[in-house]
Amino acid sequence: MSQLKKLQFTARKLFKPKTVSYAGLLTLWTGAPSLPQDICKALYKECHQHLEHQLATATLSRGNRVLEIGAGIGLISLVCARICGPDAVLSYEANPKMADIIRRNFELNGMIANLRNKAVATQSGEISFYFNDNVVSSSIIDRGFGGATTVACDGFA
Protein backbone atom coordinates (compact mmCIF):
# COMPACT_ATOMS: atom_id res chain seq x y z
CA MET A 1 0.00 0.00 0.00
CA SER A 2 1.42 3.39 -0.99
CA GLN A 3 2.02 6.13 1.54
CA LEU A 4 -0.82 8.17 0.04
CA LYS A 5 -3.22 5.22 0.35
CA LYS A 6 -2.14 4.66 3.96
CA LEU A 7 -2.76 8.31 4.76
CA GLN A 8 -6.15 8.20 3.03
CA PHE A 9 -7.12 5.06 4.97
CA THR A 10 -6.04 6.61 8.28
CA ALA A 11 -8.05 9.76 7.57
CA ARG A 12 -11.13 7.76 6.60
CA LYS A 13 -10.82 5.57 9.69
CA LEU A 14 -10.46 8.63 11.91
CA PHE A 15 -13.21 10.80 10.40
CA LYS A 16 -15.60 7.97 9.39
CA PRO A 17 -17.09 9.66 6.31
CA LYS A 18 -20.64 8.65 5.32
CA THR A 19 -19.51 8.06 1.72
CA VAL A 20 -16.18 7.22 0.08
CA SER A 21 -14.84 7.31 -3.42
CA TYR A 22 -13.89 3.80 -4.52
CA ALA A 23 -11.21 3.27 -7.18
CA GLY A 24 -11.90 6.80 -8.43
CA LEU A 25 -15.01 5.46 -10.20
CA LEU A 26 -17.74 4.93 -7.64
CA THR A 27 -19.16 6.53 -4.54
CA LEU A 28 -20.15 4.09 -1.81
CA TRP A 29 -22.21 4.57 1.34
CA THR A 30 -20.25 3.75 4.48
CA GLY A 31 -22.70 5.35 6.92
CA ALA A 32 -25.28 2.55 7.00
CA PRO A 33 -25.85 1.30 10.56
CA SER A 34 -26.11 -2.28 9.27
CA LEU A 35 -22.82 -2.12 7.32
CA PRO A 36 -20.39 -4.53 8.99
CA GLN A 37 -17.19 -2.91 10.25
CA ASP A 38 -14.93 -5.29 8.30
CA ILE A 39 -16.61 -4.22 5.05
CA CYS A 40 -16.44 -0.56 6.04
CA LYS A 41 -12.71 -0.94 6.78
CA ALA A 42 -12.16 -2.64 3.39
CA LEU A 43 -14.04 0.20 1.67
CA TYR A 44 -11.84 2.74 3.46
CA LYS A 45 -8.80 0.82 2.12
CA GLU A 46 -10.44 0.43 -1.31
CA CYS A 47 -9.77 -3.31 -1.27
CA HIS A 48 -13.30 -4.75 -0.79
CA GLN A 49 -13.87 -7.31 -3.56
CA HIS A 50 -10.76 -6.04 -5.32
CA LEU A 51 -10.19 -9.24 -7.33
CA GLU A 52 -13.83 -9.42 -8.45
CA HIS A 53 -13.56 -5.77 -9.52
CA GLN A 54 -10.45 -6.55 -11.58
CA LEU A 55 -12.10 -9.59 -13.17
CA ALA A 56 -15.22 -7.63 -14.16
CA THR A 57 -13.12 -4.81 -15.58
CA ALA A 58 -10.91 -7.20 -17.56
CA THR A 59 -13.68 -9.36 -19.04
CA LEU A 60 -16.86 -7.35 -19.47
CA SER A 61 -17.85 -4.86 -22.15
CA ARG A 62 -20.93 -2.88 -23.16
CA GLY A 63 -23.57 -5.25 -24.44
CA ASN A 64 -22.78 -8.02 -21.95
CA ARG A 65 -25.48 -9.01 -19.47
CA VAL A 66 -24.71 -9.81 -15.84
CA LEU A 67 -26.56 -11.78 -13.16
CA GLU A 68 -25.07 -11.33 -9.70
CA ILE A 69 -26.34 -13.70 -7.03
CA GLY A 70 -25.39 -12.48 -3.58
CA ALA A 71 -24.84 -8.79 -4.32
CA GLY A 72 -23.77 -7.86 -0.78
CA ILE A 73 -23.45 -4.06 -0.82
CA GLY A 74 -23.78 -3.87 -4.61
CA LEU A 75 -20.15 -3.01 -5.38
CA ILE A 76 -19.66 -5.57 -8.15
CA SER A 77 -23.12 -4.89 -9.56
CA LEU A 78 -22.15 -1.22 -9.75
CA VAL A 79 -18.86 -2.01 -11.49
CA CYS A 80 -20.76 -4.19 -13.98
CA ALA A 81 -23.42 -1.50 -14.48
CA ARG A 82 -20.71 1.09 -15.24
CA ILE A 83 -19.27 -1.22 -17.89
CA CYS A 84 -22.36 -2.90 -19.38
CA GLY A 85 -25.04 -0.33 -18.55
CA PRO A 86 -27.42 -0.42 -15.57
CA ASP A 87 -30.19 -2.15 -17.53
CA ALA A 88 -27.85 -5.05 -18.31
CA VAL A 89 -27.30 -6.03 -14.65
CA LEU A 90 -29.71 -8.03 -12.47
CA SER A 91 -28.71 -8.36 -8.81
CA TYR A 92 -30.04 -10.78 -6.23
CA GLU A 93 -29.47 -10.28 -2.51
CA ALA A 94 -31.45 -12.31 0.01
CA ASN A 95 -30.29 -10.44 3.12
CA PRO A 96 -32.99 -7.83 3.86
CA LYS A 97 -30.41 -5.63 5.65
CA MET A 98 -28.43 -5.18 2.43
CA ALA A 99 -31.22 -4.02 0.10
CA ASP A 100 -31.21 -0.40 1.30
CA ILE A 101 -27.41 -0.27 1.09
CA ILE A 102 -27.44 -1.55 -2.50
CA ARG A 103 -30.15 0.91 -3.55
CA ARG A 104 -28.37 3.81 -1.87
CA ASN A 105 -25.05 2.90 -3.52
CA PHE A 106 -26.73 2.90 -6.92
CA GLU A 107 -28.42 6.24 -6.21
CA LEU A 108 -25.10 7.77 -5.17
CA ASN A 109 -23.81 6.81 -8.61
CA GLY A 110 -26.79 8.13 -10.56
CA MET A 111 -28.33 4.73 -11.28
CA ILE A 112 -31.31 2.66 -10.19
CA ALA A 113 -30.53 -0.85 -9.00
CA ASN A 114 -32.23 -3.71 -10.81
CA LEU A 115 -32.42 -5.58 -7.51
CA ARG A 116 -34.43 -8.53 -6.37
CA ASN A 117 -34.31 -8.77 -2.60
CA LYS A 118 -34.76 -12.54 -2.77
CA ALA A 119 -32.80 -15.75 -2.56
CA VAL A 120 -32.21 -18.01 -5.52
CA ALA A 121 -33.13 -21.70 -5.26
CA THR A 122 -34.21 -24.57 -7.47
CA GLN A 123 -37.90 -23.75 -6.86
CA SER A 124 -39.78 -20.49 -6.30
CA GLY A 125 -41.45 -19.85 -2.96
CA GLU A 126 -39.97 -19.12 0.44
CA ILE A 127 -36.81 -20.39 2.04
CA SER A 128 -34.96 -20.04 5.32
CA PHE A 129 -32.10 -17.57 5.13
CA TYR A 130 -29.36 -17.62 7.76
CA PHE A 131 -27.42 -14.46 8.34
CA ASN A 132 -24.23 -13.36 9.98
CA ASP A 133 -23.03 -9.86 10.77
CA ASN A 134 -20.12 -10.21 8.33
CA VAL A 135 -22.57 -10.67 5.40
CA VAL A 136 -20.20 -13.00 3.53
CA SER A 137 -21.24 -15.95 5.72
CA SER A 138 -24.95 -15.30 5.18
CA SER A 139 -26.52 -18.14 3.24
CA ILE A 140 -29.46 -20.44 2.66
CA ILE A 141 -27.24 -23.01 4.43
CA ASP A 142 -27.31 -22.93 8.23
CA ARG A 143 -23.69 -22.66 9.35
CA GLY A 144 -24.66 -21.91 12.95
CA PHE A 145 -23.41 -18.30 12.83
CA GLY A 146 -26.47 -16.34 13.84
CA GLY A 147 -30.12 -15.65 13.24
CA ALA A 148 -32.50 -16.75 10.57
CA THR A 149 -35.43 -15.34 8.68
CA THR A 150 -37.71 -16.45 5.89
CA VAL A 151 -37.23 -14.83 2.49
CA ALA A 152 -38.91 -15.15 -0.88
CA CYS A 153 -36.94 -16.93 -3.55
CA ASP A 154 -36.97 -17.19 -7.31
CA GLY A 155 -36.49 -20.61 -8.81
CA PHE A 156 -33.87 -21.39 -11.41
CA ALA A 157 -33.75 -24.89 -12.75
At what angle are helices 50-59 and 75-84 packed, to 10 degrees? 20
Q: How far apart are CA 113 and CA 73, in angstroms?
A: 11
Q: Cβ neighbours of residue 44 under 8 Å, at least 6 residues apart? A: 9, 12, 13, 20, 30
127 in Cβ contact with 116 (< 8 Å): no
Considering the entire predicted model, what is its pTM?
0.92
23 in Cβ contact with 53 (< 8 Å): yes
The predicted pLDDT at position 156 comes to 87
Q: How confident is the model at residue 119 (pLDDT cuts 50, 70, 90)?
A: very high
Q: How confident is the model at residue 139 (pLDDT cuts 50, 70, 90)?
A: confident
The predicted pLDDT at position 2 comes to 86
The predicted pLDDT at position 83 comes to 97
Q: How far apart are CA 99 and CA 2, in angstroms?
A: 33
What does DSSP say about strands 66-69 and 115-116: parallel, antiparallel, or unpaired? Answer: unpaired
